[in-house]
Chains A and B, each alone.
Chain A
């Protein structure tokens, strides 16, 4: 690996605190709502109170009469749609067109001089509706019951079937079969900073500047241009600091189009920021899946065949550009066997419309669901055969000599450390000791459980919620003074790219970190790239930074060789100075070179262009590269109150080369926190009329700091064959953690024979299913 660097890597692999932290911790970061623009108008939305209804009339006369109101828009004023990608013909209108299809759908947009006035005016708009029967149950919806959500299309908008050859015979002849139904309830990303957007025309050029906390700045620009019929070069997207995105902010939303169009029509800057209630009603939801599963296995617990009917409730429209329902199911179907060597697979996918908020991306997308299914299945087999849960996993794990391994769905696991990470996790946890403790504890009426979760994480895929750009880009400029500026096409929202990308560049260029600044999120400056999502920024962005850095270094080497009268091969770099290898006395600095490149251009070595600027795009050698690892959790469940306490938590993570272990661990901490939420707390609840009941943070339970376990993290390094050997790792921790915690709860409750196949597992569920008689208060 060393030859990839100008000198020995100083920065890649180092625990470097994040450059970003200083401004974030001091409260100096500028989020969307901090941006001040003169004459800024504010938008607010009248949202549907019904899950399904016909719009009879909209009377906005009273709203127009409120002083300070500048415009009241309906679909007729902005007849734009977000097209649906894929087979179904259903578009999502910017504002409801004739029908409303979920509670919270935007019907009318009001623009006023302040948000206060805009909200008052929203109250003054009278919309008459005829309510219709809502479609709320995904299994009934598959049969178009009680009716179609969209008259023009059946409710099933995505259907796929897949089966390995010989599946049926293998399944039928297997010694044992079990059926189970796994279900995950709706969640949403719940970023600390809500969504928002500002559109402001630039009076000089007539261009439109759009500020938006998106994960894909270039894609948003393209989407706006296409959907609003604008010229792409007349749009500029700037991403301010983003307070969390988690896939949810990768989508292009109707509100974004409404704000930009309002700014065009009114010729004045317009802003909208969601309040928390709006977030719950309009940010994409996630994880509304059911897996009807049958598994066939032998006496040793070796899994022979898996049959899965995957269903997802996609909500009223397919979120643009990425339907969460399709993403969650189609990817889960490809990786439902996880790191286990299972020969046969049969999957059927059905994604349906409903009168609920559209399903989109949330960190891990398919993964938390599939891992929960896959690990739950293994645990049920172990229980059935009275075998140890770890033993059954050993029996099934893909062995090192099987790698690269093509799974039953045809996905290629390029490399990994499945058995090693599992054994390390058991050792870290001290599995046998916990099993003994568990036995003793049961004797005194305490119920501990151990949950094991082996995961695979497909990363750096060509296509994700960030879009379908299979490469990433980086521009590097050595400034005339010898400092370095770099731009990437990424759209970070807290991942620390300004630090990690600078680390990669610093090693390539042989300069120190403080002489590099990494910029992103301005389509006028950054080279066109895909953005951040699908665990792609490390491997793809890192690859782009490496490639651009190397390209620049090759040019700098020519300069240095020329100036030092040495061979290019003999040039070495350190601290921004080049010397002839072994001869430190003779050196030139980056500054000396930059002066020639820009100001004394006659001295430029022949064959080199003027200036020091390069733009490179990196496309990885494979369409996907797999990270893997193991999570292990120990919990205590109080059977009389249903409360779950996590006692111990171990993570073994293998994402190839680590650019910055501190940042990797931070990502893991956050993912495990979200996993606690998924397993035990978070649930978006709809009532029978299609009203979302959980629209505040008093109702939607997020894990707070005391609920997040202390965890021990160990890294294994199985490099990819991509740039630097880096694999993605943004999602693995949330892919694995719900399964680990749920598995531990189920293990704790095994004396009752109770096993939950539905997340989250709430205290009430536990108490109720243990039955009052057996659950005497302790």
Chain B
């Protein structure tokens, strides 16, 4: 399958990207790694008159320390996230999720910004970034806004991003010192996308869970925080019983769809339980 004809432009700064988007927002699309957009164009499911390539926009690249956390350019590739020392130090959960995306080729091309803006309900990174309480920096015509990732995903492939906006950076707070984390995924046998992905971190102090975050992807129409599970754990001893109870609450924290037989709820329970178990054993 081949794409329909399209026009291609390479932008050099964010302003230029916004300007080009503004000219014809409905028919213009940003291309980052192209690993989600191009397959759609080849299947002729997306018809795009003009592509704006953001690979040469310096402002969208690089990982910087920012007010104690990280500021990750939207054009950072999965492979960079996986190996970047600052990410591994401040947010190892993000590095470990990036490391298991697709295969090497996908990780070498795909970007964090592309993954978030594409909003595939089975993408890996959203779970890690939800658990890390990430915030998005979005540039639009004459404005820049910040939005919590919690509010960003509206439905499969739909976000709050307007057609003339650019995601410029993702701000990731540093993980609580001493917290242990893990990203656990069951890859789909064909695509490698998660059938379910669980991102979690837990900080334990004096034998009790001081704070924790758990987020799930792949299993519902949008990735979600397992807020109920977090509540169950917080303040409790990090015990087998607490984990089992938290795991039971995971599915109820979000919307699953197509779960009349309880299969998806069961997967939530099993994988949250395993993820927390890994953390408890220090394997995370």
Contacts and interface: CB of A to CB of B under 8 A. Distances in A.
Contacts of A777: 247, 266, 269-270, 273
Given A768-B263, A772-B266, A699 B4 contact: no
B270 A640 contact: yes
Top 8 A-B pairs, shortest CB-CB distance? A698-B191, A768-B261, A777-B270, A701-B190, A275-B1, A701-B189, A764-B263, A116-B2
B5 A120 contact: yes
Given A640-B266, A704-B189, A764 B261 contact: yes
Nearest to A278: B1
A700 interface: yes
Contacts of A699: 190
Contacts of A697: 190
Interface in A274-290: 275-277
A119 B2 contact: yes
A643 B188 CA distance: 12
A698 B1 contact: no
B2 A115 contact: yes
Nearest to B5: A120
A772 B190 contact: no
26 contacts: A115-B2, A116-B5, A119-B1, A119-B44, A120-B4, A120-B5, A123-B4, A123-B44, A276-B1, A277-B43, A641-B270, A696-B43, A697-B190, A698-B188, A701-B188, A703-B189, A704-B189, A707-B189, A767-B263, A767-B266, A768-B261, A768-B262, A768-B263, A772-B266, A777-B247, A777-B270
A681 interface: yes
Interface in A680-723: 681, 696-704, 707
Interface in A642-695: 642-643, 681
A699 B189 CA distance: 9
A775 interface: yes
Nearest to A115: B2
Interface residues of A, number: 29
Contacts of A643: 186
A700 B190 contact: yes
B267 interface: yes
Interface string A595-634: 0000000000000000000000000000000000000000
Given A120-B4, A123-B44, A707-B189, 18 more contacts: A116-B2, A119-B44, A120-B5, A275-B1, A276-B1, A277-B1, A640-B266, A640-B270, A641-B270, A700-B190, A703-B189, A768-B261, A768-B263, A772-B262, A775-B266, A777-B247, A777-B269, A777-B273
Best-buried of B188, B191, B266 by chain A (most CB within 10 Å):
B266
A484 B263 CA distance: 63
A119 B3 CA distance: 8
A123 B3 CA distance: 11
A772 B259 CA distance: 13
Interface in A723-778: 764, 767-768, 772, 775, 777
Contacts of B2: 115-116, 119
Contacts of A702: 190
A697 B43 CA distance: 13
Interface residues of B, number: 21
Contacts of B263: 642, 764, 767-768
A641 B267 contact: yes
A704 B5 CA distance: 34
Nearest to B267: A641
A604 B172 CA distance: 90
A277 B3 CA distance: 14
A47 B186 CA distance: 36
Nearest to A699: B190
Interface string B151-170: 00000000000000000000
Given A768-B263, A777-B247, A681 B189 contact: yes
B190 A698 contact: yes
Interface in B260-276: 261-263, 266-267, 269-270, 273
Interface of A: 115-116, 119-120, 123, 275-277, 640-643, 681, 696-704, 707, 764, 767-768, 772, 775, 777
Contacts of B189: 681, 701, 703-704, 707
A775 B270 CA distance: 11
A33 to B, nearest CB: 14
A643 B266 CA distance: 13
A340 to B, nearest CB: 34
A69 to B, nearest CB: 14
Best-buried of A643, A700, A777 by chain B (most CB within 10 Å):
A777
Best-buried of A115, A123, A764 by chain B (most CB within 10 Å):
A764
Nearest to A681: B189
A116 B6 CA distance: 12
Contacts of B262: 768, 772
A578 B162 CA distance: 84
Interface in B185-244: 186, 188-191
Interface string B245-283: 001000000000000011100110110010000000000
A665 B2 CA distance: 39
Interface in B17-54: 43-44
Nearest to B269: A777
Nearest to B195: A763
B190 A641 contact: no
B72 to A, nearest CB: 27
Contacts of A116: 2-3, 5
Contacts of B5: 116, 120
A772 B4 CA distance: 48
Contacts of B261: 764, 767-768
B230 to A, nearest CB: 19
Contacts of B188: 698, 701
A772 B265 CA distance: 10
Contacts of A704: 189
Contacts of A703: 189
A275 B44 CA distance: 13
Contacts of A775: 266
A696 B39 CA distance: 11
A772 B5 CA distance: 51
Contacts of A681: 189
A704 B2 CA distance: 26
Interface string B1-18: 111110000000000000
B190 to A, nearest CB: 4
Contacts of A276: 1
A698 B191 CA distance: 5
Nearest to B42: A275
A423 B189 CA distance: 35
B43 to A, nearest CB: 7
B226 to A, nearest CB: 15
A707 B192 CA distance: 13
Contacts of A123: 4, 44
A123 B2 CA distance: 12
Nearest to B270: A777
Contacts of A764: 261, 263
Interface string B173-190: 000000000000010111
A643 B195 CA distance: 12
Contacts of B43: 277, 696
Nearest to A777: B270
Contacts of A115: 2
